[in-house]
Amino acid sequence: MLKKDVKEVIVFFSTVIGLSYLVFWGPIALLKVPTVNLVDGEMGPIWAIILFIIGGFIPSIVGIILTAKYEGKKGVKELFKQSVKVKIGYKAFITIIIVAIYFALTLVLISKLTTGKFDYSQFWIQLPTILPLIILGPLSEEYGWRGFAIKRLLRCTNANLTSLIIGIVWAFWHLPLFFMLGTSQYELNVPFIAFLISVIGTSFIYTYLYQSTKSSIFSAILLHWLYTYVMQVVSSSIVRSNLYNWLEFIPAILIGFVFAFMMRNKKEASQQRIKCNN
């Protein structure tokens, strides 16, 4: 018989994937209807744009709704409290900054090795766009992946397996984007396998931060925010090639191994050592 926490995570994963594939992103991808072209800025029909935008918020929407269902108002209040828990300690802040710089430097290095050039000024030129990016990714997803799923999985298994499971589901949630006109995944011919490996690799970082900050969702939001900005700047500033697309996953998998190693013997927080709920 499945444990309560496992059942709840399965409900969350299946609902998120089901809504994305069958209601929001899937039909747009299947019908090849353009939405917002993230590469050249062209717009599709308004109904498709609405489905596209709502689809991006599905992880957080489902995470909040299921938290209310399973934990009530108290659980939702705690969920939002953890998302604004900015006192995460200087070590966590330093880790997040170092990770962001690491991705910036390694991706720029790959770009220079494959194309021979990179416009560093884009990091400053595109800085005004960093504020809207907190909505596109961090807030639209993290109430689900780290707000709902991670704490339940950590009560049932170890940090590394939790990271792997969330990473796989997180990546497959994005799958329709690889067949959707206008998305960077489709227009730039990004290989899904490379993307899958990248997402799994970064998932270990989020789990490490979540544990190190006593369940702070803010740490995940901050990391997701800076990572999204770095990826936007680099992706918009390079001439992509098939070689670059395949090499792009290397920084993520390398740092993923580092954090997996750091967590292999890490003691779980006391509330996460409780047996998986019946």
pLDDT tens digits, 12-38: 999 999 999 999 999 999 999 988 766
Residue with the bigger pLDDT between 267 and 118: it is: 118
* Residue 267 clears pLDDT 70, i.e. is over it: no
Structure confidence at residue 272 (pLDDT): 47
User: Tens of pLDDT along 31-49?
Assistant: 999 887 665 667 889 999 9
Task: Please tell me the pTM assigned to this model.
Answer: 0.92
Q: What is the average pLDDT value for the chain, to the nearest integer?
A: 90
Structure confidence at residue 96 (pLDDT): 97
* Residue 271 clears pLDDT 50, i.e. is over it: no
User: Tens of pLDDT along 136-175?
Assistant: 779 999 999 999 999 999 999 999 999 999 999 999 999 9
Structure confidence at residue 114 (pLDDT): 85
Structure confidence at residue 160 (pLDDT): 97
* Residue 188 clears pLDDT 90, i.e. is over it: no
Categorize the per-residue pLDDT at 72 as very low, low, confident or very high, splitting at 50, 70 and 90. very high
What percentage of the chain has pLDDT greater than the value 90?
A: 70
Segment 185-189 mean pLDDT: 88
Segment 63-85 mean pLDDT: 96
**CB 207, CB 263: distance < 8 Å:** yes
Dihedral of the alpha carbons of 163, 167, 170, 172, in degrees to the nearest 10 = -150
Structure confidence at residue 65 (pLDDT): 98
* Residue 1 clears pLDDT 60, i.e. is over it: no
Q: Which amino acid is it at 220?
A: A
Structure confidence at residue 273 (pLDDT): 47
* Residue 78 clears pLDDT 50, i.e. is over it: yes
Structure confidence at residue 232 (pLDDT): 84
